[in-house]
Structures are given as C-alpha cells and as structure tokens.
Amino acid sequence: MTSQRLFDLILERRSYLCVGLDTDPALIPKHLLGEPDPIFAFNKAIIEATRDTCVAYKPNLAFYESQGAAGWESLRKTVELIRLSEHFIIADAKRGDIGNTAQQYARAFFDVLGVDAVTIAPYMGADSVTPFLGHPDKWAVLLVLTSNPGSADFQMLECEGELLHERVLRLAQTWPGAERLMYVIGATHPERFARVRALVPEAFFLVPGVGAQGGDLGALSRAGMNKQCGLLVNSSRGILYASSGTDFADAAGRAARELQAQMDVLLRECLGR
C-alpha cells in the first residue's frame, strides 16, 4: 500500500484509527473459549465490528507467538480475514537483528504472512532496518519515541547536541528506501510532536498511547498532522476489552466509532477536508 492510497482510505473512512489486536487469551470473553480457535473467533468479531471505522490493524506478535503453532495459525487466519477488506496491516513484532537474520524476518512477514509493515527496533543501526526496505511497497516502522515510562531511559538522552530519538530520525532519512519508513511516536509525549514533525515532515507516525495510557488525541493530531494526515493512531485495550461479556463486539464497535467521530472533526479542523 502506498502512502497516497493510505491517505485516500483515511479520507474515505474519515479515520486514521489503527486497531491493535493484542488478543490476550486470559481476557477473551468466556463464551468464546469453547470455539475451536478462540483467538481467531475473538479477532473475527472485533474486525467485523470495526473495519468500517479504521484504516489499519496491528496484531501484536507476542500474543500469538506465546501460543505456539496454534497461535501462528490464528495470526495467519486473522491476516487473511483483514485482507478481504482494504486495510493497512502492521505486524507489531519489534524485530531488530542484522544481516541474513533480518532478511529472513522480512521474508517471513512480507512474503509469507503478507503484512504491509513491521515494527523494528533500530538500536543496531542501518543493518537492522535496510533488509526490510528491499521489499517494494512494504514498510518498516521504527521504534523512535515510545509511549512507555521507560522510554526516557535512552530515547531522551542528549547525544552531541540532540536527543537520541532525534538522531535516529535524522539518520534514518539517509538510508536507502527511507521513503518507506514510518516512526513510532508515543501519544504520551505531546510536547515532542511538533519538533518530531519538523524533523520528518512527510512521514507517517504510528501513535500508541491513546486511551488506556491517557494520550490526548486532539493535542497530538494538531501538532503532528501533515498534509496527508501522517498519523495512524493506535487503540488496543480501549477497543478490544470495552466489554468482557457477550456484547464485546458491539462495545468494541462503539468505542471505535467514538474515536472515528473525533478523528473526523480533527481532519476537518487540521486539513480543512
């Protein structure tokens, strides 16, 4: 999917919502546990309830890998289902190795699983990212300024006159294929959004931390939106677990529609369209 097509979907659906599929077997409603594949049954209901109000889905690989082969099958079926309607699919895998290993990870996610993007930790430098940029129309999403409290341990350190996350942003733009980089910028850092946007004016940001972590959708949208919106705002727990009962899918749909309605207003305010 190109950035232009992603922007077209944002305008069509009046939304820049990404639904995080962090499907925890311990939190799946009990009435689904008798299904042959409870994880997929839960995901299917969530996707059917939210697909008209979001432009992206982000399965978190840990919740599938922890279930062994059965979890990978749940993931495969989930990606296949999402593919039936047009959405950007991000494998939240947080890979970060180099060389042949990185090439095999890229092949696994892009050629075998068939997602559009993979989250990557860039700590090992260009060697850990460029293998993912050799796949046409696929994206690497760099962990740059994350939403967790521990992000300050390293990402906010000063490094020769700039903060470490700023250096990552600056250097990443010099790598071959950098036009297919996105960046994770946590909603819990609203004071940094204008600065980060100035450093990478054209890129898309994947923004976690809205909802359960308290990020302000309006503030980050006004500071971080560019002429193509440039934002994919993720919500996981606030949508997936809006209810633990048999009405969980209806509750998820309502939570997604509430965010979509706010995004519609912000698109008109920030882009005038």
CA 217, 221, 223, 224 torsion: positive or negative? positive
Task: Verify whether residue 94 is a known catalytic residue.
Answer: yes
Active-site residue identified among 30, 44, 94, 138: 94
Is residue 234 within 8 Å of residue 18, measured between CB atoms?
yes
CA atoms in the 13 A half-sphere facing the CB of 125:
2
* CA distances (Å), origin 214, targets 152, 187, 210: 17, 8, 6
Token pair, residue 9, equals 């979907």
Active site residues: 94
